[in-house]
Structure 1
Amino acid sequence: MNNQTMGAMVAALRKEKGMTQADLAARMGVTDKAVSKWERDLSLPDVHSIPKLAQVLGISVEELMGSAAPSGEGRKPLQPLVLLVVKAVALAMGVSVTVLSILGNLSTSTGFILLGIGLTCVGICLLQEKNRPGQ
């Protein structure tokens, strides 16, 4: 079970034990909404309750803690909307330089700043694509 998130592990083990979220919540002294959030990887159990959770689920703390982080490596990839915004900023910087240059209102330092922002955004997008699994 080491390739799944803690939430997926909790859900699978709870179901194996024939417990509902409400059953697990009652045994843990939390609400069923808290258990639901754990299972959907929206939150984690309190550090003090992890030994009890492992006991209730019939596994060791090490097994429970050995589950994967929700993103697979502890960091979340850029969400598609954020990546779209970064691409839009890069495009906007390029358009700004072009328009200001045509209008004759672009100083050299302003042009370099705008292009630097745009190139930084392009770099972020390229790095994100390079680090995407399966690429």
Structure 2
Amino acid sequence: MEKKTIGTMISLLRKEKGMTQQTLAEKMNVTDKAVSKWERDLSFPDVNTIPKLAEILGVSIDELMHAKVEDKKSINKNKIIEVVDVVLKAIGIAMGIAVTVLSILGELEIKSAFIMLGIGLATISISMLKK
């Protein structure tokens, strides 16, 4: 079975009980905004209120806490990987354009052209390796 986030679990269990966010909030002595944030995984219930929340939702503390907590670091890591991929491709394209423009202007030595094209090919190759 796919693990759900704590917020998803709270929302699912609340709806199974036929409760609104307002109703759950009143039973927990919090605002409906707090319940909304829990369900969207923007915040979490206070650790001292977990037993009461589990009781209201009709599950054990273990069942409620068995949910998966989203790992913000892995989300950020994926964004970093995407940015690095774009940068590597951009370097390759920039080197190709630079060689073309400099050779048209007659300002490029052969040795420098090979180095620049090599850098461009290497960065594009690195970008393609991880796919």
Instruction: Give the TM bin, normalised by the shorter chain.
Output: 0.5 to 0.7
Whole-angstrom CA distance in 1 between matches of 2:49 and 2:124: 47
Question: Of 82, 91, 95, which aligns to 1:93?
Answer: 91
| Structure possessing the higher radius of gyration over alpha carbons | 2
Kept after mapping to 1: 8 A contact 2:25/2:31: yes
RMSD: 3.7
TM-aligned CA distance change 1:88 to 1:12, over 3 Å: same
Q: Deviations over 1:5-32 (max 9, x none)?
A: 2112111211222211001111222221
1:90 to partner: Cα distance: 2.0
Whole-angstrom CA distance in 2 between matches of 1:35 and 1:24: 7
3-state secondary structure, aligned to 2:4: coil
The answer for unaligned runs of 5 or more in structure 2 is 103-107
Whole-angstrom CA distance in 2 between matches of 1:45 and 1:120: 47
The residue that corresponds to 1:35 in the other structure is 35
Kept after mapping to 2: 8 A contact 1:3/1:68: yes
Kept after mapping to 2: 8 A contact 1:2/1:66: no
3-state secondary structure, aligned to 2:86: helix
Kept after mapping to 1: 8 A contact 2:92/2:124: no
TM-aligned CA distance change 1:92 to 1:33, over 3 Å: same
Q: Deviations over 1:39-59 (max 9, x none)?
A: 122322222322221122122
Q: Among the aligned pairs, what percent are the same residue?
A: 44
The residue that corresponds to 1:3 in the other structure is 3
Provide TM-score, normalisation by structure 1: 0.63
Correspondence 1:1-135 to 2 at 5 A: 3-70=3-70, 75-76=74-75, 78=78, 83=82, 85-102=83-100, 103=102, 104=108, 118=123, 122=127, 126=130
The residue that corresponds to 1:133 in the other structure is none
The answer for unaligned runs of 5 or more in structure 1 is 130-135
